Amino acid sequence: MTTSVVDRSVPPPPGALRPFQFPPIERFELASGLPVVFSKTDGLPVVTFSLLLPAGALREDWRHAGLATLTGSLLESGTRRSDAAEIARKLETLGVRVNVGTSWEVSHVDFTVVPERAEAAAQIVSELVTESTFPEDEVERIRNEQLAAILQRRAEPRGLANEMAARFIFASDSPFSRPLAGTVSTVSALGRGDAADFHKRAFTPQSSTLVVAGNVPLDAARKSAGSAFGAWTGGDPVQAKGGVAPRQDGVHLVLVERPGAVQSEIRIGHVGVPRNVPDYFPILVMNTILGGAFSSRLNMNLREKHGFTYGVRSSFVMRRMPGPFIVSTAVQTEVTGSAVSEILGELRRMRDTPVAAAELTDARQYVAGTFPLRLQTTDGVASRLAELVIYGLPDSYLDEFAERVLAVDEAEVLEAAQRRLHPDGVTILVVGDPAKVRPQLDALDLGPVEVVAASVNE
Amino acid sequence: MRFPIERYELDNGLRVVLSEDHSQPVVAVNLWYNVGSRNERNGRTGFAHLFEHMMFQGSENVADTQHIAHIERVGGSMNGSTWLDRTNYFETVPANRLELALWLESDRMGFLLPAMTQEKLDNQRDVVKNERRWRVDNQPYGDWDERIQAMTYPPDHPYHHSVIGSMEDLDAATLDDVRAFFSTYYAPNNAVLTLCGDFERETALEMIERYFGGIPRGPEPPALPGKVVVPRGLGGQVVETVESDVGLARVYVAFRIPPYGSDGFYAADVATHVLTAGKSSRLYTTLVREQQVAQSVVGFAFPIVTGASIAVFWATANPQVSLERVEEALWSELDRLRLDDCSEEEVSRVVVGIEARQLISLQQVGERADQMSMFTMLFDDPEGINDELDRYRGVDAAAVREFAAECLMAENAAVLRYLPRSRGEEAA
């Protein structure tokens, strides 16, 4: 081949756009009343099932914090037909791993499988969901696992920082102030009866939805779903409880002691917004500029300019109720105070000055353009369908996503920053070496520093 | 099912792999360079990875911080990673931005050095040191792989040291090192370029020739430092005990195993799965479900090719359970695998699981491209992505026992124990 001359001095222009389209969404209902949302994908021969249940942690009783997580974890522990070992063997013979996840809003039971084994897998999973028996010994074992996981998270600075940040951002009677999987005292008190009772009230086709996404025909999805969940019965689910309020007004500094730590885990945040917030798209674009991408202001400042950190991100965690807005990073101990100042400075700059035109264009294209990348997998498509279900979004949301993002303008970004970022009302939480970090936080002159032990109140 | 693969080579030695898939309007561009931490010389551990960071700091026609910005602003995702045997760079972009990705990759392959400055090096050195603190020094069990590598390979083996390297060696790296490393290893004849996704072959080949064809071939890279060949066994048990800020005690047990790509490796990988993959695995069943001595068990075989690979198992003790009990239970399961055949049913369940997870992960063009680069770089055979499952299907119960009998002995194990630091020693 010959070597042609190429002009490298400018980036090459785009080729013709190849538009992306979300696969069509089909909806149908099983004989049991369970609604099914289905999308046929074009990729490899696999299919994802995701059963969304009204069994999230918001539905558990205060005193039983961690019960939703425990109940979900126990689904593979035994049914009327099979013990835990048989369940594991049957699923793995089909090449299936079931993922049971519990969030605040829902519990979801997910698996991905090749089409020819989909019906068999769905039937086993339906057995887990509808016929769980919660054997006493397994309840004890899984509860101990959950307790051990709490200990492990406390010993791990990132997990500890996330848990503590939630506690100090939300009022103590807001459910989001507590760890989703409970505390040592609440989990220790849980027993078989609690799990069986929660299961009875929350694992019901009423308010559940089955999401199916994969390269299978509609008829096949209908058949697998129907043979698994067509005869499922159950009553009305228990209702979600609790509201959301901030822990306090003004700036609040918290230092969680981790003597000898070579890095400080920093969390700076406040109560954010719910998922159905009217300025959702401006917030998305604004946060991308602030700290939602590698090229964001926070990362360019803390990492690429100062070398304080391996990375920093900001995010609005959106739930049905307002989740946290939070900036997360880990910096070397010696620069903890400087890093906090730079982060607060970036929050203020977002509110004080309009973003540059190029910044805005880049951020919009990043958000719109990366959306389809996550739809290469059946699991990614199922997650988007689940988002529609959980937050009650219209189907058109998926098709209009890019258009809505690209329409966000400079004024909307500024307004979103001014309405949604509150640098004068943040909790600044650091997990780090108290001897070295305390003087740096005092020197910021932002108010008193509350020092807490890693093990406080468990 | 087989992925379509076409293979080319440019005059300058760049190997090119193309795999079209028009089901989504995205394309993955993936480059493997045949250099990893195994190539590092004494006193420069961590340098291959530090160098990878420098590849994102701009090149002759790409301004500082703009490499990543170019990809992000078209809605692409990208990254790079350094491992023992290789360094890879990859992006997935909208199909109409293929040319942009090729421009960026070719500019840093051919024209990196004019953009290198001391300031950029010092900045990325700080970033990488913070990466080390984040991954290793401030993380419970964070130095396990560093310790296991040092215990499993002799000091003159290229796998003796970790990818992230030591703080001292990171401090010692100079701009001259950057120049020398680039000239030695970053050349088209030491790389594989794979495209996977929505593109047309003729257009893509023309672009690849245009952007990469003019980059001159580099010198043949030098042989690996140190001594690559090691005996199968360690020749005695190696034990280390670490007291640190961990929540629960944990034991790691590692063995030298045949290198990735050999029949022995596939037997080792199946054996590892029989022991630890999923809730029907032997270690989960015994240690976690039945005896309840461990909170969790993990095991895997490293897909690495230089002399010998590693199989490692770890078990995290439940609170109130001594690590000795955990180790006893672990060893009795390893012994059982050495002494008795496992059932063909166990083996076939493991292989079905490997097939399923491979299919699930290959839905992403980026993952597919990475594996095609890998098979081309390591084994000169991009079709490995289509053929590897047959290697797994060729493993039977006898092969598993034979592997276990040869490799999984206590006297050939590296045993690393983490114990929670006792309260009395905590700093004030």
pLDDT, tens digit, for every residue of B35-94?
999 999 999 999 999 999 999 999 999 999 999 999 999 999 999 999 999 999 999 999
pLDDT at position B210, please? 97
CA distance B292 to chain A (A): 7
Per-residue HEC secondary structure of A265-290 comes to EEEEEEECCCCCCCCHHHHHHHHHHH
Q: Edge-to-edge, what's the strand order for the sheet holding B87-94?
A: B6-9, B15-20, B191-197, B26-33, B87-94, B77-82
Per-residue HEC secondary structure of B181-246 comes to HHHHHCCHHHEEEEEEECCCHHHHHHHHHHHHCCCCCCCCCCCCCCCCCCCCCCCCCEEEEEEECC
| Residue carrying the six token digits 């020749």 | B235
Burial of B422 (0-12, 13-18, 19+ CB in 10 A): exposed
Interface test with chain B among A9, A151, A295, by most B beta carbons within 10 Å: A295
In the beta sheet, which residues pair with residue A429? A254, A267
pLDDT at position A357, please? 97
Q: Is B123 on the interface with A (CB under 8 A)?
A: yes
pLDDT at position A458, please? 53
Residue range B153-182: mean pLDDT, rounded: 98
In the beta sheet, which residues pair with residue A437? none
d(Cα A20, Cα A402) in Å, to the nearest integer?
10
Cβ–Cβ gap A307/B137 under 8 Å = no
| Residue carrying the six token digits 């529609």 | A388
- Cβ atoms B140, B245 nearer than 8 A: yes
CA distance A402 to chain B (A): 11
Q: Is B103 on the interface with A (CB under 8 A)?
A: yes
Which residues of chain A have a pLDDT value below 70? 1-4, 456-458
CA distance B383 to chain A (A): 18
3-state secondary structure of A42: coil
Residue range B252-274: mean pLDDT, rounded: 98
pLDDT at position A119, please? 97
CA distance A116 to chain B (A): 12
Q: Is B117 on the interface with A (CB under 8 A)?
A: no
Give chain A's end-to-end CA distance (angstroms, integer).
69
DSSP class per residue in B137-189: ITSTTTTHHHHHHHHHS-TTSTTSS-SS--HHHHHH--HHHHHHHHHHH-SGG
Q: Nearest CA to B306 among B377, B370, B236?
A: B377
Q: Nearest CA to B110 among B204, B215, B24?
A: B215
Residue of B nearest to A158 (CA): B139
pLDDT at position A62, please? 86
d(Cα B295, Cα B292) in Å, to the nearest integer?
7
CA distance B162 to chain A (A): 18
Confidence of residue B131 (pLDDT cuts 50, 70, 90): very high
Cβ atoms within 10 Å of B231's Cβ, excluding its own: 11
DSSP class per residue in A390-433: HHT--THHHHHHHHHHHT--HHHHHHHHHHH--GGG-EEEEEE-
pLDDT at position A242, please? 87
Interface test with chain B among A7, A8, A302, by most B beta carbons within 10 Å: A8
Contacts of A113 in chain B (CB under 8 A): 356
d(Cα A378, Cα A395) in Å, to the nearest integer?
17
d(Cα B342, Cα A404) in Å, to the nearest integer?
57
d(Cα B111, Cα B114) in Å, to the nearest integer?
7
- Cβ atoms A42, A238 nearer than 8 A: no
Q: Nearest CA to A421 among A286, A300, A318?
A: A286
Contacting A residues, span 92-151, partner chain B, CB-CB under 8 Å: 92-97, 112-114, 141, 144-145, 147-149, 151
Contacts of A45 in chain B (CB under 8 A): 1, 359
Residue of B nearest to A45 (CA): B359
Cβ–Cβ gap A1/B213 under 8 Å = yes
- How many residue contacts between A and B have a Cβ separation below 8 Å? 234
Cβ–Cβ gap A15/B97 under 8 Å = yes
pLDDT at position B383, please? 98
DSSP class per residue in A219-251: HHHHHHHHHHHTT----PPPPP-----BS-SS-
pLDDT, tens digit, for every residue of A278-287?
999 999 999 9
pLDDT, tens digit, for every residue of A80-138?
999 999 999 999 999 999 999 999 999 999 999 999 999 999 999 999 999 999 999 99
3-state secondary structure of A131: coil
d(Cα A298, Cα A288) in Å, to the nearest integer?
10
Confidence of residue B425 (pLDDT cuts 50, 70, 90): very low
Which uninterrupted H or E stretch holds B17?
strand B15-20
Secondary structure letter of residue A79 according to DSSP: B
d(Cα B311, Cα B130) in Å, to the nearest integer?
29
Residue A432 φ/ψ, nearest 5 degrees: -170, -175
d(Cα B144, Cα B129) in Å, to the nearest integer?
18
Q: Is B425 on the interface with A (CB under 8 A)?
A: no
pTM: 0.96
CA distance A242 to chain B (A): 32
Cβ–Cβ gap A259/B427 under 8 Å = yes
- Cβ atoms A279, A235 nearer than 8 A: no
Tokens of B297: 């068990």
- Give the torsion sign (CA, B245, B249, B255, B257): negative
- Cβ atoms B178, B51 nearer than 8 A: yes
Using CB atoms, pick whichever of B70, B133, B289 lies closest to residue A84: B289
Tokens of A387: 């988002």
Cβ atoms within 10 Å of B114's Cβ, excluding its own: 10
Which amino acid does the sequence have at B2? Answer: R
Cβ–Cβ gap A92/B352 under 8 Å = yes
Buried b (16+ CB within 10 A) or exposed e, B281-310: bbbbbbbbbebbbbbbbbbebbbbbbbbbb
Cβ–Cβ gap A307/B125 under 8 Å = yes
Q: Is A9 on the interface with B (CB under 8 A)?
A: yes
Burial of B225 (0-12, 13-18, 19+ CB in 10 A): middle
Q: Is B343 on the interface with A (CB under 8 A)?
A: no
Which uninterrupted H or E stretch holds B91?
strand B87-94
d(Cα A69, Cα A206) in Å, to the nearest integer?
20
* Percentage of chain B modeled with pLDDT above 70: 99
Contact partners, residue B223, CB within 8 Å, separation at least 6? none
